[in-house]
Amino acid sequence: MHIALLPLDERPVNTRLPRQVAAVARVEVELPPAAMLSRKKQPGDTAALGSWLEATVERSAPADELVASLDTLGYGGLIAARTTTDSVAAVLNRWEALRRVRARAPRTGLHAVSLVTRAPNSNSSDEEPDYWRHIGADLHRYGAALHRRYLGEQAGEREAGELRDRLPRESVADFEARRLRNHTVNLAALGLAADATLQTLLITADDTAERSAGSLEQHWLAHWKRVLGDAVDGVLMHPGADEVGSVLVARAVLGRIRDTPLPVAVECAVPGGLSRVAPYENLPLAQGTQGHLRAVGAAPVPADADAELVVVVHPPDQQGGDWAHGHPRVREQEHSEVRATAERVASLVAAGAAVVVADCAYPNGSDPALLAALQARIDLKSLAAYGGWNTAGNTVGSALAHGVVHATARAAGVLDDAAHHRLLLHRLIEDSAYMTDIRGRALARFTEQDRHDELPADVREPARSWIAAELARSVERFPEFAGWSLPADSVRLPWDRTFEVDFALHQADGPAEAVSEEGLR
């Protein structure tokens, strides 16, 4: 089986992670040449990417399944969708490559994702238009006020007017025009699903809130999904972004090596935990998790049913905290919620269940208390998957993708144990050792920044070298994975910042994991 992936952008979560997920079932994922892809704010070559996508089904050994980011095909990448001035007509013309693919290869699975543009609550232009550094938080509030005004809330009418009058007119006009363009494009994406060009379409949203510009646009999109009915049965909408490549790759794998949907149960040992709304999201965890289940091609079943996979969700800590913006007030191992999650995981593992742990306690990193409690009760290698990074959607979606491929590959007799353990250890090291510990210390040691924006040029290599040494030692935190190592020379900072990291893992007497020259895959 061969999958071609047009990723959301060039970062490891969108390139390396989907490959790691597929490798668990011994499936190959092909990516476009790195030179075609974006480089942060520099858009990718949309013409070349469209031609590459068409070529994947025109050769003698065509791809069996295609997974495509519509933002990359239309704008050149995730950041380009937020910063470029390309017209609706230009974007839709680039999408015609998908219709040509469908005409040329009608039996090839074609799965796509399009994002609702975010409006983050921060004054940082690292991933946004330049004016965001001055008024980004106000534009986030403006979007929320417009949403409240639409709902008939009087406070929204007043606040929207005050912000519009106070903020720079040109910046507000650009914000509004860009959102209108991108929303129009998302409506057109529904058309690609309605005319069966796309087999699956995910319209997801990251870095949002219950009241926000993006949440209002999702409401309008949901209206048209209801209107179109059965014609857009393959369209799903829920919180998420960087996990979607892995989710759709997993969906493609399941569709090829399994005749029926994988039955998956979702549990939370904390009463009411699934009703909580995680930071940066706009739906309760229960709804978001069900969206990821449908997206990955699984069949939700009750907790007491005969599930082949159980996802245990560790819910958001109600005290708050965010690993990217400071050190949360982490609870003790014996905290009732930590203990409840750990004991439920341990009991399921002891009963022989395949278990995924989705650690959603804190954004942008895992819960150290939960990991310690789990290590005291189980062998971490016994898990089907683990996730604890960025948003709850990122965590649930990527962990679920790994878990369903693991369960399906095992049942089909194609499981690659080494690839499974590599991915499991990679997530434990990145989500725990790096995000909750090494990353914050690196930011404080090498900069005076309070955000993980681009590093000053003179500290990039010293910071990378120090991080590499710390990461190489971090494998020792997980003695269950004896025989694995993290070569310091494999460590990269893909966007010259501390927020994300790339590295490879090596198993003694096993094949080395490939790292590209740019360190992006």
Task: Give the other-Cβ count within 10 Å of 223's Cβ.
Answer: 10
* C-beta separation of 6 from 14 below 8 A: no
Residues 127-139: what's their mean pLDDT?
97
Residue 19 to residue 263: CA distance in whole angstroms: 24
**Residue 514: predicted pLDDT:** 63
pLDDT beyond 50 at 520: no
The secondary element (H helix, E strand) that includes residue 3 is strand 2-6
Residue 436 to residue 54: CA distance in whole angstroms: 41
| pLDDT tens digits along 38-49 | 999 999 999 999
Residue 73 to residue 38: CA distance in whole angstroms: 11
- The answer to whether domain 2-121+181-257 and domain 262-415 are alike in fold is no
Helical axes 285-295 vs 244-257, angle rounded to 10°: 50
Binned at pLDDT 50, 70 and 90, residue 510 comes out as confident
Q: How far is CA 4 from CA 78, 184, 396, 476, in A?
A: 19, 27, 23, 35
Tell which CATH architecture fits domain 2-121+181-257: Alpha-Beta Barrel (3.20)
Per-domain residue ranges for the chain?
A: 2-121+181-257, 262-415
Residue 140 to residue 127: CA distance in whole angstroms: 14
262-415, CATH topology level: Rossmann fold (3.40.50)
Strands (E), 142-294: 200-205, 235-239, 262-267
pLDDT beyond 90 at 450: no
Binned at pLDDT 50, 70 and 90, residue 282 comes out as very high
- Classify the C-alpha dihedral 20-22-26-30 as positive or negative: negative
Strands (E), 307-445: 309-314, 355-359, 385-387
Query: With b meaning 16 or more CB within 10 Å and e meaning fewer, what string describes 97-134?
Result: bbeebbeebeebbbbbbbbbbbbbbbbebbbbbebbee
The secondary element (H helix, E strand) that includes residue 69 is strand 65-69
Helical axes 392-412 vs 285-295, angle rounded to 10°: 40
Residue 22 to residue 152: CA distance in whole angstroms: 47
**Residue pointed to by tokens 């403006």:** 142
**Residue 234: predicted pLDDT:** 94
Mean pLDDT over the full length of the chain: 95
| pLDDT tens digits along 329-383 | 999 999 999 999 999 999 999 999 999 999 999 999 999 999 999 999 999 999 9
Whole-model pTM above 0.85? yes
